[in-house]
Amino acid sequence: MDIATIIGLITGFSLVLWAIMSKTNITTFIDPASFAIVGGGSVAAVLMCFPLKNVLGLAGVLKKTVFTKPQDPNTLISDLVRYAEVARRDGILALEGVVSEINDPFIVGGVQMAVDGTDPALVEQMLTGELDSLAERHSDGKGLLEALGKYAPAFGMIGTLVGLVIMLGGMDDPSTIGPAMAVALLTTLYGSMIANMFALPLADKLGLRSQEELLIKAIVIRGIMAIQAGDNPRIVEQKLKTFLPHRLRGSSEEDKAAA
């Protein structure tokens, strides 16, 4: 679980709620009609932008921002180096014995193709194609939240304009101007909160999760290609650690350099 996402959401809404309640009653900021314009209008716009099945899958997309735990690349590299040692010592066919202990279907597919003697160029092409498809699916999920963040403030402004028109239509009674103006501005507030405290931050978190997963998959592809080529396990490790910043490469490489 990504506790940072939960802390950020709770903290943001709590601070706004505290600022409201420290000055006035919370009921002043609750208007169902205003929320219907912003919330309903934003969802309607998203429905026009994306297929229905994508919109219905929004809950699953949101779960990834909280419940997806990024894989440790150093652990992955250690596993791939171990597979390289098995292939180097006992032959690539010996990797059939380790397939059952691998939980990642992407790695299993790549290793199985290597064991079956599939042409290396075809192995790389198939794995890269799967990587591109994954990136596209991630982009679709991120795009949903970005669209919601884009349209919510716009519908907030639409709601404000509607409220101003209603207010100006009742100018004959000055006592209603203040309350009517307050209600009109609520839609702008709702739109800004949905965009900047929910949709856009979660879209950025999805982008980060996508980068992390694509990095993992890229390491797997490079590792499988190196194993199939019969590279020395130490060379495999050095190749794979080039994907990582120096602070994440662990101590083994530094120790070797010192030696």
Q: Where are the domains of the chain?
A: 1-30, 32-73+121-258
pLDDT of residue 69: 79
- Ranges 51-60, 170-179, 215-224: which has the least confidence: 170-179
Residue matched to tokens 């949709």: 199
In this predicted structure, the answer to whether residue 222 has a pLDDT above a threshold of 90 is yes
Say whether pLDDT at 167 is over 50.
yes
Give 203: exposed, middle or buried? Use CB within 10 Å, 0-12, 13-18, 19+. Answer: buried
Per-residue confidence band for 257, with pLDDT thresholds at 50, 70 and 90: very low
Q: Which of 35-44, 163-172, 219-228 has the lowest mean pLDDT?
A: 163-172
* Region class of 91: left (phi > 0), else alpha (psi between -120 and 50), else beta: left
What whole-number distance in Å separates Cα of residue 164 and Cα of residue 148?
A: 24
Residue 66 has pLDDT above 90, yes or no: no
- Tally of CB atoms within 10 A around 188: 20
d(CA 13, CA 55): 24
Q: Tens of pLDDT along 44-61? A: 999 999 999 989 988 888
CA distance 167 to 47: 31
DSSP code at position 25: -
Summary mean pLDDT of the chain: 88
The per-residue pLDDT for 100 is 84
For residue 250, name the pLDDT band (cuts at 50, 70, 90). low
Is 253 or 242 the better-scoring residue by pLDDT? Answer: 242
138 or 23, which is more confident: 138
Residue 15 has pLDDT above 90, yes or no: yes
Distance in angstroms (rounded) separating the CA atoms of residues 78 and 250: 11
Q: Indicate whether 112 pLDDT > 70.
A: yes
Q: Which pTM does this prediction carry?
A: 0.82
For a pLDDT cut of 90, what percent of the chain falls above it? 59
CA separation for the pair 37, 35 (Å, rounded): 5
Confidence of residue 175 (pLDDT cuts 50, 70, 90): confident
> Which range is least confidently modeled, 24-33, 34-43, 87-96?
24-33
